Structure 1
Amino acid sequence: MTTPTQPQAHTSIEDYLEGEQGGDIKHEYLAGQVVAMGGASDKHGFIAGSLYAALLPAARRKHCQLFIADMKVRVDHDTGSYFYYPDLLLTCDPDDKESPYYRRHPCLLVEVLSPSTERIDAREKLFAYRLLPSLCEYLLLRQDRLQADLYQLNDEGRWQHKVFTHPDDALALRSLDVAVTLHNVYADVSELLSPAG
């Protein structure tokens, strides 16, 4: 969750990365501007944690790196460099170890949405993340209702958008050759799995 702060002077990437190592609050970096992130809810943690647990065995089998919450992704663009904290980051590039604090070549990024972050995650980050040549999947998971939005790069190089809303729907993630049901992802948020949810 990002929270706009007062306009500030341009911060260098080096100063930003150094500041993140010692701070208690995480910040995202938007072409020189540093933006504080708010705390996450219990539902947010349950959803991200369940997906991480479901994907970790497959990530290990494929010798990929799977991170939850604290690993930044770096996006470089004409307008500058951007650092975001996705909820889950998967990279299968063995050389993607330029820094212990960020990755440049993820193949899968996941964000758990809240009403306050939905616009940023579903628009700004969707645009920014798709600038990454390595990215083939971007998954958005809602915490206020049972819904997953999966953006996948098809064999023709076009992005396809699929929406899943039923507990038995399976998210087929090509980057790990694995399928995870929404029931599994939302298992610890039972009120969203019930018919009234």
Structure 2
Amino acid sequence: MDYLESEASRHEKHEFVGGLVFAMSGFSNLHNVIAGNALAILHSQLRGKAPHVFNSSTKIRVQRPDHTRFYYPDAMVVCHPNPATDYFQDQPVVVVEVLSESTRRADLGEKRDAYLTVSALKVLLLVEPDSASVTVHRRRAEGGFAIERHDSLEGTIPLPEIEVSLPLAELYARAEIPD
């Protein structure tokens, strides 16, 4: 695929949606602190266990009936990873997306909707950067997703799907978010 070949040789990141390539803007220090915290928490709690944690340099491939999409989430957990030579994952179980003002509309629209079509996905976390607030889309046994809100630095998001928990105080550490 031409997109994957050209993306591997570029310094900047681009997402791919149905044949169109979109340049990604840079992210604020605040965004990067929160995304880094999410990655560190997941990596620390999953050390020595089977799931793999990937950062924002690894794409998710979403295969739709009529086209393919590639997105860069801020963090993801995968239980059945693609080969090490690939530049993307097909089966994320948990996806973390830190929202930003410049991409908010796409993050809460097409990107969220695309992630929720991934059959392996169990949990999608949409993290607000300016307040201690995380919206969790959790797959229900009977189908579809339930939506939960976690709105306090004192709260913890349980992730029994991968046997970890995500304390909001740690997720927002050094982000200077008021409780």
Bucket of the pairwise TM-score, normalised by the shorter protein: over 0.9
Contact 2:138 2:146 in 1 (8 A): yes
Kindly state the Cα deviation for residue 18 of structure 1 after the two structures are TM-superposed.
0.8
Kindly state the Cα deviation for residue 136 of structure 1 after the two structures are TM-superposed.
0.5
2:141 is equivalent to residue 155 of structure 1: yes
Give the number of aligned pairs.
Answer: 179
2:108 is equivalent to residue 128 of structure 1: no
User: Does the residue aligned with 1:175 lie in a helix, a strand or coil?
Assistant: coil
Match of 2:58 in 1: 71
Kindly state the Cα deviation for residue 117 of structure 1 after the two structures are TM-superposed.
1.4
For 1:12-39, what per-residue CA distance to the aligned partner results, in whole angstroms no more than 9, with x for missing partners? xx11111111111100001110000000
For 1:65-108, what per-residue CA distance to the aligned partner results, in whole angstroms no more than 9, with x for missing partners? 111110000011112000000110210115x3275200101101
2:164 is equivalent to residue 168 of structure 1: no
For 1:116-154, what per-residue CA distance to the aligned partner results, in whole angstroms no more than 9, with x for missing partners? 211111111111011111001000111122210111012
Kindly state the Cα deviation for residue 172 of structure 1 after the two structures are TM-superposed.
0.8
TM-score, length basis structure 1: 0.86
The amino acid across from 1:60 in the alignment is R
Please, which runs of 5 or more residues in structure 2 have no aligned partner? none
For 1:158-197, what per-residue CA distance to the aligned partner results, in whole angstroms no more than 9, with x for missing partners? 301111111111111123211121111001112x1x35xx
Structure 2 counterpart of 1:84, from 63, 71, 77: 71
For 1:27-61, what per-residue CA distance to the aligned partner results, in whole angstroms no more than 9, with x for missing partners? 00011100000001101111011111111133233
Match of 2:98 in 1: 112
User: Does the residue aligned with 1:61 lie in a helix, a strand or coil?
Assistant: coil
Greater gyration radius: 1
Partner Cα distance (1:57, 1:114) in 2: 25
Identity of aligned residues (%): 33
RMSD of aligned alpha carbons: 1.4
The amino acid across from 1:49 in the alignment is G
Contact 1:30 1:83 in 2 (8 A): yes
Relative distance call for 1:61 and 1:98 in structure 2 (3 A) is closer
Partner Cα distance (1:175, 1:93) in 2: 14
Q: Where do residues 135-154 of structure 1 align in structure 2 (5 Å cutoff)?
A: 135-154=121-140
Structure 2 counterpart of 1:28, from 15, 36, 45: 15
Which 4+ runs in 1 deviate beyond 3 A?
A: none
Partner Cα distance (1:80, 1:99) in 2: 23
